[in-house]
Amino acid sequence: MDQVFKALSDGTRREMIERLTRGPASVGELAQPLSMSLPAVMQHLQVLEASGLVRSEKAGRVRTCHLEPDGLRMAEDWLGGQRTGWEHRLDRLGGFLNTDEGKRS
């Protein structure tokens, strides 16, 4: 999971993930809107592949990238669990603050 969050910590990689949510794309298509060299784009893709968020396949001279939803789902599940825990804590705090004891503090 650390690799997933490391991969998602970079804005360029998040932009690539966002593009891939619309469907597979070649490396050239992913690189087109970015202001960086193709080798730099490939380094970002390697991080995304190592984290399990993206997979790629090569057909001839074209490398096509695909989103791997399971990697994102793992991060989403973890974040959902954290959110649920914090919601319970905040609900308990709100309940305490609404009691007479909480109002006296």
Residue 82 has pLDDT above 80, yes or no: yes
Domain count along the chain: 1
pLDDT of residue 46: 96
Residue 44 has pLDDT above 90, yes or no: yes
Residue 103 has pLDDT above 70, yes or no: no
Residue 68 has pLDDT above 90, yes or no: yes
Residue 64 has pLDDT above 70, yes or no: yes
Q: Looking at residues 46-52, what average pLDDT do you find?
A: 96
CATH number of domain containing 83: 1.10.10.10
Q: Which domain holds residue 25?
A: 1-101
Alpha-carbon span 85 to 87, nearest angstrom: 5
Instruction: Give the neighbor-by-neighbor strand order of the sheet with 62-67.
Output: 25-26, 62-67, 54-59
The amino acid at 14: R
